[in-house]
């Protein structure tokens, strides 16, 4: 890897089966970074335990996300692929950053407020401080760019604040990271309620499409997706259900929105849905095939994350050594 390249980092949680929203919003775009940037892509298994997990399922899903990285075209020769919990420097840096994080700032985090309302019985300290661990993930690798959705910009601001605060207190140590938001990427919403983001935690299984769903399931879910009674094929906020489906079509094909609307003007919604189902399957089936091949080769997958751990630790240790020295820890 070329050390003169800018650094891109992104982590994906293995807290449930991944949807096309996860794929289109993050993983699909990772591939385009790896030729231009020095890339770190990790499975954020430590972040996932802010909510209760079944240990054996977490281990399985961690491997599945890594396999999906590879099946989606990430090259371990070009990108560092690793598992967060296997690089202990993440939590070691997070503890130092905790010491300069303010309770007030953490309590204002929108996601914390939302999750704490949903999970009052599980209002644990990790739920409160995980944005600091997220900041540690980013700052540890002297990251320049972090691909994020708009719902993560607040956490990015915290990472930037902590980097600036530490640099001011101890001298320049961290790069100040920037959020990379793909303006062409519309957020993917629930197939049953286009007011909310598509999520694997939705109790209605027909509201999302999993990356591992089979062809018949995908087509059935798209046929059952909500649209509207307008009978007018348009891309507008008045027709949010249809707009969401058009965004999915655009995200898979990269066909301009205007061209999609022009092509299906005057057609029934059912015709568009049938075609969309085919588009999704044509894009996912090759990934699913490769994904299953990778998962069945346990030795190969283990080799990938072991090598990734070593490469990640090498870079992480350089940053952490500087931090420990500056705060006054003995070698």
> Are 186 and 155 in contact, with CB atoms under 8 Å apart?
no
- For the chain, report the end-to-end CA distance as a whole number of angstroms: 29
CB contact at 8 A, 202 and 211: no
Query: Mind telling me the catalytic residues?
Result: 115, 197, 200
Phi, psi dihedral angles at 211 (to 5 degrees): -65, -20
- Phi and psi (nearest 5°) for 280? -65, -45
- The DSSP annotation for 94-113 comes to HHHHHTT--HHHHHT-HHHH
- The DSSP code for 132 is H
Q: Which residues pair with 9 in a beta bridge?
A: 40
CA distance 329 to 202: 45
What distance in Å separates the CA atoms of residue 180 and residue 325, rounded to the nearest whole number? 31
Q: Name the region of 171 (left: φ>0; alpha: ψ -120 to 50; beta: rest).
A: left
φ/ψ of residue 187, rounded to 5 = -65, 140
Q: CA 58 → CA 74, 99, 180, distances in Å?
A: 22, 30, 28
Instruction: Return d(Cα 316, Cα 253) in angstroms, integer.
Output: 37
Q: Using CA atoms, how far apart are residues 329 and 144, in angstroms rounded to an integer? A: 27
């Amino acid at each position: 890897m070329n050390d003169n390249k800018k650094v891109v980092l992104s982590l994906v949680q293995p807290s449930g089966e991944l949807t096309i929203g996860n794929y289109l919003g993050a993983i699909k775009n990772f591939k385009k970074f790896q030729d231009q940037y020095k890339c770190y892509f990790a499975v954020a298994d430590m972040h996932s335990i802010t909510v209760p997990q079944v240990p054996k399922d977490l281990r399985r899903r961690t491997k599945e996300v890594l396999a999906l990285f590879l099946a989606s075209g990430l090259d371990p020769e070009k990108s560092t692929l690793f598992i967060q919990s296997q690089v202990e420097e993440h939590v070691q840096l997070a503890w130092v950053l905790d010491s300069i994080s303010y309770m007030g700032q953490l309590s204002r985090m929108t996601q914390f407020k939302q999750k704490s309302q949903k999970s009052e019985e599980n209002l644990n300290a990790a739920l409160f401080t995980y944005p600091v661990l997220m900041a540690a993930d980013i700052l540890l690798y002297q990251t320049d760019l972090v691909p994020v959705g708009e719902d993560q910009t607040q956490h990015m601001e915290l990472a930037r604040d902590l980097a600036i605060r530490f640099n001011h207190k101890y001298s320049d140590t961290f790069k100040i990271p920037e959020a990379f938001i793909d303006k062409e990427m519309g957020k993917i919403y629930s197939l049953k309620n286009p007011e909310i983001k598509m999520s694997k935690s939705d109790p209605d299984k027909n509201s999302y499409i999993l990356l591992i769903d089979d062809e018949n399931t995908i087509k059935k879910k798209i046929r059952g997706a909500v649209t509207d009674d307008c009978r007018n094929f348009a891309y507008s906020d008045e027709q949010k259900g249809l707009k969401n489906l058009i965004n999915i079509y655009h995200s898979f094909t990269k066909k301009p929105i205007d061209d999609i609307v022009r092509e299906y003007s005057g057609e029934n919604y059912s015709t568009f849905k049938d075609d969309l189902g085919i588009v999704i399957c044509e894009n996912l089936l090759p990934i699913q095939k490769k994904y299953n091949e990778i998962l069945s080769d346990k030795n190969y997958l283990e080799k990938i994350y072991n090598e990734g751990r070593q490469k990640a630790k090498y870079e992480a240790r350089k940053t952490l050594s500087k931090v420990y020295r500056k705060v006054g820890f003995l070698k």
